[in-house]
Structure 1
Amino acid sequence: MSCPELFRILMHLWLLLLLLAPGREQTRWLILQAKHPIYEGDSVTLKCLGKKEKSIIQRDYYKDEEKIFGGSNLQQIIINSVFMDPGEYKCTASGKLIIPWTETSNSLRIQFQELFPHPVLTARPSQPIEGGPVTLTCETQLSPWKPDVQLQFCFFRDVQTLGSGCSSSPKLQIPIMWNEDSGSYWCQAATTRITKKSQRSQIHVQRIPVSHVNLEIQPLEGQLIEGHKLVLICSVAKGTGNITFSWHRDGRGILGIKTQHSQLAELQLPTVTERDAGRYYCTADNNNGPILSKKISVTVKIPVSCPVFTFRSSQGQAVIGDTVELHCESLRGSPPILYRFYRENVTLGNSSAPWGGGASFNLLVNTEHAGNYSCEADNGLGAQRSEVVTFSVIGISRSRVGAATAGVTGLLLGLVITAVLLYCFGTRRKSGGTSAMGMPSYNPCVHQEPSSSRPPPSNPEEPICSEPLAVLDLQPVYSNVNPENTNLIYSQIQNIQHTNGNLANSPRVHREDTGPVVIYSELKKSHGNDFAKHTSKRESIHEDATGNYENV
């Protein structure tokens, strides 16, 4: 054996004696070190050091007698605390001199300190009222030895994240809570490596039943104009949660329904008609039974339509002195209606129709009243003007027209009566007899005996017609048209003279009857069928030596 080999053996023995020498426990050859204190989430550095580092070939690390790292000669290892639990840690070092050897370090118990405790969720108020706010707080306490660590807080209802997500604030303000928001609430506090959750808390949101339901009409007082918009606003003084509003009208049923998180809702009827008038009300319900509002009467006023303008006259046409009725009527429109009457756009007067319909204005006609007339209807919702009507006036008065008409009529009637009397008078002179009524009668066709101076007719049965009467000249002597203070319309006295020519050719006129004939004619006011009584039954015939006359 050479000297160097012997020397190495002696050195190994000496080292072995040192390891087995008394007092080794106090001065271990191999030790395990770790930094303290260690907080959860921190990275842990384990150092395994020996007195003769050059002689160590391999180091192994253990936790609770179970190797967690080895196979290399690393003096230290870093372990993330996320993957670590409290326990007993140690290391071993091994080498080889003359024979292999292994040295074990001391045991090191590593205890992780809590960075912050599990948070606790609190709600203020603990039993929030529906429609009101609630404040959630995620309460925890960070270690004062870790002032640089930032916590992030998140809030949840069941699995739904509340708010805008996680933030550095431990509080969350919810402005309005509804009954549907009742549920299981929890929160969590977290660092980049540690996350802790609170226990779940049941939060029940209390609901308030609706009360004091009110209906408001716009426009106010329920005065509507046909064609305009009607707004129905239903509100409640109290009531939380989803409130179902409905609008009604007597005799028509439901007009509309809305459900919303609000104590007020409105319904619009864009164009109302006359049929929309009636009594309206609304109801509100948040699952505790519907509550009704008071009923409001709604009236719909109708603007006047274009009026119709007419003239009304008892005589059919207007003359000076007549009273003409100007009538104006709007066929559609809410009363009261004020009517105005115009001539050439100048106001003549006005008349009111408190209950609707038309109105009239009387006009005493004179020559200045001819022109263009119109009327206007107004019930406060806008005036409407009629079409223009032209009015004409006859230039004479009604009395003169009547007198002139009566005079002409009387003259014609007098002529007719005169002709009839002359005809009858001539017949009486020929026949020498009278009619059954005492009036002279005459038949122009009579049977006559043949004379010796005249040849008989070829046919004895053929009647022989008399010659025509002599033409009489009617000379008016006096006439009066419409005398005052009597019912006489027309009177006339006529003198009938026989012309010489006619007398010469009229052998049937006797010489003693050649005197004048005087005819009196009258035309009185007629009353129905009494006309004949006033005219025809007053006839008489008088004859004398100086003249003849008849009075009708």
Structure 2
Amino acid sequence: MGNRTLCEFMNSCECHPPVLLRGWKIRWIFMRQTFPALSKGQVPMLLWLLLLILAPGREQSELAPKAFIRLTPPWSTNFKGKTVTLTCEDSHSPAQGGISWYYDDILLKKKSGKLQIRNSGYYKCKTPGSSLSDPVHVEFLSDWLILQASLPVFEGDDVYLRCQGWKEEDITKKIYYKDGEKFAVTYDSGFIRLNSASTNNSKYHCTTYVEGLFGMWKESSKALRIQVQELFPPPVLTASPSQPIEGSPVTLKCETWLPPQKSDTQLQFCFFSGDQALGSDWRSSSELQIPAIWSEDSRSYWCQAKTVTHSVMKRSLKSQIHVHRVPVSDVNLEIQPPGGKLIEGDNLVLTCSVARGTGTITFSWHREGTIRILGRKTQRSLSAEFQIPTVKESDAGRYYCAADNIHGPILSTLITVTVRIPVSRPVLTIRAPRAQAVVGDVVELRCEAWRGSPPILYQFYHEDATLGSSSAPSGRAASFDLSLTADHSGNYSCEADNGLGAQHSDRVTLNVTVPVSRPVLTLNPAGTQPVVGDVLELRCEAQRGSPPILYWFYHDNVTLGKSLAPFGGGASFNLSLMAQPSGNYSCGADNGLGIQCSEVVMLNFTVPSRSKITPVTVGVILGLLSILGLAATAALVCKFRTQKKSGGISATGTARSFGTETQESTHFEPPALMELQPVYSNVNPGDRDLVYTLVGSIQHTKEHLVNPGDRDLVYTLVGSIQHTKEHLANSPRLNWKHKGPTVIYSEVKKTHPDDSAGQASCRGWAHEDATESYENVPSTSLALYH
């Protein structure tokens, strides 16, 4: 009967309280198994309808516990004419009133709790608080031999059989049979016991031999079927709820009941899913709690019930449990750290969750634009977690997740993940307009970090002082222009920072070259009138300029010499004054950035004034001096050749820097009383002596007695002559034994080819063919005889 037809029928009739259907066992559980589509409210209505149709006039439902009948004496078979008392009982107590008795399904008028019977048949009863009892068959026989069985007998109980004769005194031996097979023999009026009776419909009878007046004959009883009552009905498995939602708990119950007279019997239960036992083995509780049931658990379930002695065991019918699955919904993706802003090297945690959904859920994680699945997890939970350790720049993008529990995947919304890159160590480069940075140049300081998320702030440093900063909105490099001064030499560095930690570059050293300033030429000694024969120090110094500085010295546009100051400062040049050294003197300074020239200093050298002497005296003196000069010249030439061969006299002159060592004198020994004297030792500044200077150049001419192969020498003969004519010959001052005339030698130095660079156009001077430069050399005093 369909649901619609049943409802229409129920609405068309008048339904009264349910009535009892005698002899029918209708259970609500059976109705639920028969009509699984019916709701809980529809099942009782269907039950009432069936009771109305099949058993009108009955008063109570079969759902109440059964009553039972107790016999006195407790035998199922009796001799005819005997009386048996039946007592109707229920689970509460022996009933006192309101008892209904039935004889072969016919209601008797007897209402008391006991009924005495003498007729064979089936008897049943019920009390106000019970349902109809199982039938009890009592038989009254007029046979000579009967077989009696104890009543009531429940499954698993011991059964007592007694073979009883009409005249018991005539019986000596009794033989018991089961299904025609002898199984016991007794020789008294007692009984035998059968263990664990069962409802197997076996037939029992007994035989005996009787002695009488006419001999011995055999008597057999009528066949007997033992009335074994059901100890408990087969259990029925119920599930609560009957159609559970996946993931929810379910209670399985194995339902059965014991008769009141067997209420102390202990039962055990076991539950099965398919062929697999659930939980522990046998248990005393008839219920089993399943914490969570899943869709894959949709299958048949059944249970077993048994007595502790294992004598009676029954199983339920299989009951199908269908588990409903809830589709996933409201899929959400969360990111740790929140906001999805990470730094390269961080761990990215993606958590995918669903608001609803049951069963096994498959979670998967994806990045937009890629086909490859980043990760997948299948588990029975509403959320799952996926981790990307040590994220890289390539991990940036938009992420989403999907959840599926067989009904199809549901996607989450997209979440953007950004990965910021800390700046790498920057590189500082310095770009100058020329190979050597010079004061006044504008150099570019360029700082560049090869990696790092923009924007990047660059800071520029000179030593530990900040020069400035520059921001690079798109990353990469930034520059800073610096106009160089003399103070800008030193170490430079830069720093890059994008908020994730500053990085410093290596130091870069910049040497700023300062061009030399215009040098100043000074003379030492200063403030005196130089005299021929003096040694004059020319000092040239530039106040500014990066070392090394090369100084050049000039006389009337002719290069005298050069001197290098490796550590800066000034340089000096010693000049031995000759007969006509007057003229313009200057110097130049150069450190590779162009020569700077000093102001020109004009010097006029004076020759000491001569005493008025007579021409005779002059002639005599000149004659003597000529003789002495020729002799000295010859001696000097010989000595010079000897020393030149042995390396005794330096072949070059000297130009010294400031602080150089004093040059040593070169000596030789003339014949007789010749001795060495300091330079100008024969000059007495206290006397007004005339100083005669004889200057001669030893040339390659016939007039001079020299070797043409020797280098040219300039010699000077200085002598003191008294002013008086009278004492010219024998004057003490002409006693030249110890204070004779002094000869000063100077070497004429040719200009070297490499001096042309230093002569490069100082104030427009261009003297590529400068002739000779003057360098002072030591002097030797020569004692001459009068």
> What is the TM-score of this pair, normalised by structure 2?
0.45
Change beyond 3 A, Cα 1:95–1:342: farther
Greater mean deviation of Cα atoms: 341-350 or 290-299: 341-350
The answer to whether 1:189 aligns with 2:305 is yes
Q: 2:237 corresponds to which letter in structure 1? A: L
Residues of 2 paired with 1:171 and 1:346: CA distance? 85
2:287 to 144, 163, 171: 171
Deviation at 1:154, TM superposition (A): 2.1
The answer to whether 1:125 aligns with 2:234 is no
Deviation at 1:212, TM superposition (A): 1.7
Residues of 2 paired with 1:398 and 1:61: CA distance? 152
The residue that corresponds to 1:260 in the other structure is 379
Residues of 1 paired with 2:345 and 2:321: CA distance? 52
* Structure 1: segments with no counterpart, 5+ residues: 1-21, 417-472, 482-488, 496-500, 502-519, 524-534, 536-552
Deviation at 1:95, TM superposition (A): 6.2
1:77 to 182, 192, 198: 192
2:334–2:351 CA contact under 8 A, matched in 1: yes
What pairs with 1:216-365 in structure 2 (closer than 5 Å)?
A: 216-255=334-373, 256-318=375-437, 324-342=443-461, 349-361=468-480
Residues of 2 paired with 1:381 and 1:238: CA distance? 41
Q: 1:183 corresponds to which letter in structure 2? A: R
1:152–1:169 CA contact under 8 A, matched in 2: yes
2:154 to 22, 39, 63: 39
Residues of 2 paired with 1:474 and 1:238: CA distance? 116
Residues of 1 paired with 2:381 and 2:762: CA distance? 101
The answer to whether 1:386 aligns with 2:505 is yes
2:588–2:762 CA contact under 8 A, matched in 1: no
2:552–2:588 CA contact under 8 A, matched in 1: no
Give the secondary structure class of the aligned counterpart of 1:288: coil
Residues of 2 paired with 1:229 and 1:398: CA distance? 64
Give the secondary structure class of the aligned counterpart of 2:296: helix
Residues of 2 paired with 1:171 and 1:478: CA distance? 126
Q: 1:66 corresponds to which letter in structure 2? A: G
Q: 1:174 corresponds to which letter in structure 2? A: I
The answer to whether 1:135 aligns with 2:222 is no
1:370–1:393 CA contact under 8 A, matched in 2: yes
Deviation at 1:253, TM superposition (A): 0.8
Q: 2:457 corresponds to which letter in structure 1? A: L
* Structure 2: segments with no counterpart, 5+ residues: 1-79, 83-139, 520-541, 559-580, 590-595, 603-696, 698-760, 767-786
1:492–1:521 CA contact under 8 A, matched in 2: no
Q: 2:244 corresponds to which letter in structure 1? A: P
Deviation at 1:330, TM superposition (A): 0.9
Deviation at 1:329, TM superposition (A): 1.6
2:156–2:198 CA contact under 8 A, matched in 1: no
The residue that corresponds to 1:145 in the other structure is 261
Question: How many aligned positions are there?
Answer: 424
Change beyond 3 A, Cα 1:72–1:372: farther
Give the secondary structure class of the aligned counterpart of 1:189: strand
Q: Deviations over 1:471-525 (max 9, x none)?
A: xx996599999xxxxxxx9899999xxxxx9xxxxxxxxxxxxxxxxxx9977xx
Q: 1:40 corresponds to which letter in structure 2? A: E
Residues of 1 paired with 2:148 and 2:518: CA distance? 147
Q: Deviations over 1:169-220 (max 9, x none)?
A: 2222222222222122222222222222222222222222222222222222
Residues of 1 paired with 2:476 and 2:447: CA distance? 9
Q: Deviations over 1:282-306 (max 9, x none)?
A: 2222333322221122222112111
> What is the TM-score of this pair, normalised by structure 1?
0.62
Residues of 1 paired with 2:156 and 2:516: CA distance? 125
What pairs with 1:478-489 in structure 2 (closer than 5 Å)?
A: none
Change beyond 3 A, Cα 1:188–1:123: same
Residues of 2 paired with 1:194 and 1:114: CA distance? 10
Residues of 2 paired with 1:248 and 1:354: CA distance? 31
What pairs with 1:360-371 in structure 2 (closer than 5 Å)?
A: 360-361=479-480, 370-371=489-490
Q: 1:180 corresponds to which letter in structure 2? A: E
2:459–2:466 CA contact under 8 A, matched in 1: yes
The residue that corresponds to 2:278 in the other structure is 162
Q: 2:318 corresponds to which letter in structure 1? A: R
Change beyond 3 A, Cα 1:78–1:365: farther
Deviation at 1:352, TM superposition (A): 2.9
Instruction: Kindly indicate whether structure 1 or structure 2 has the higher relative contact order, using CA contacts under 8 Å at least 6 residues apart.
Output: 1
Greater mean deviation of Cα atoms: 173-182 or 342-351: 342-351
Greater mean deviation of Cα atoms: 124-133 or 29-38: 29-38
Deviation at 1:82, TM superposition (A): 4.9
Residues of 2 paired with 1:238 and 1:180: CA distance? 18
Give the secondary structure class of the aligned counterpart of 1:188: strand
Residues of 1 paired with 2:487 and 2:376: CA distance? 66
Change beyond 3 A, Cα 1:175–1:97: same
Deviation at 1:118, TM superposition (A): 2.0
Deviation at 1:321, TM superposition (A): 6.0
The residue that corresponds to 1:111 in the other structure is 227
Residues of 1 paired with 2:228 and 2:218: CA distance? 30
**More helix by percentage:** 1
Structure showing greater Rg: 2
Q: Deviations over 1:396-426 (max 9, x none)?
A: 689999x989xx99999x979xxxxxxxxxx
Q: 2:276 corresponds to which letter in structure 1? A: Q
Change beyond 3 A, Cα 1:37–1:415: farther
Residues of 2 paired with 1:178 and 1:328: CA distance? 64
2:248–2:293 CA contact under 8 A, matched in 1: yes
Change beyond 3 A, Cα 1:394–1:409: closer
1:247–1:254 CA contact under 8 A, matched in 2: no
1:34–1:44 CA contact under 8 A, matched in 2: yes
Residues of 2 paired with 1:391 and 1:82: CA distance? 117
Q: In angstroms, what is the RMSD of aligned CA positions?
A: 4.8
Give the secondary structure class of the aligned counterpart of 1:145: helix
Deviation at 1:53, TM superposition (A): 8.3
Residues of 2 paired with 1:118 and 1:145: CA distance? 18
Deviation at 1:357, TM superposition (A): 1.4
Q: 1:91 corresponds to which letter in structure 2? A: C
Change beyond 3 A, Cα 1:27–1:202: closer
Deviation at 1:113, TM superposition (A): 2.0
Change beyond 3 A, Cα 1:167–1:410: same
Residues of 1 paired with 2:259 and 2:81: CA distance? 41
What pairs with 1:418-429 in structure 2 (closer than 5 Å)?
A: none
2:491–2:507 CA contact under 8 A, matched in 1: yes
The residue that corresponds to 2:536 in the other structure is none
Q: 1:334 corresponds to which letter in structure 2? A: S
2:246–2:326 CA contact under 8 A, matched in 1: yes
Residues of 2 paired with 1:399 and 1:337: CA distance? 47
**More strand by percentage:** 1
Residues of 1 paired with 2:586 and 2:341: CA distance? 76
2:496–2:502 CA contact under 8 A, matched in 1: yes
Give the secondary structure class of the aligned counterpart of 1:136: strand
Q: 2:209 corresponds to which letter in structure 1? A: S
Residues of 2 paired with 1:243 and 1:168: CA distance? 37
The residue that corresponds to 2:208 in the other structure is 93
Residues of 1 paired with 2:338 and 2:406: CA distance? 31
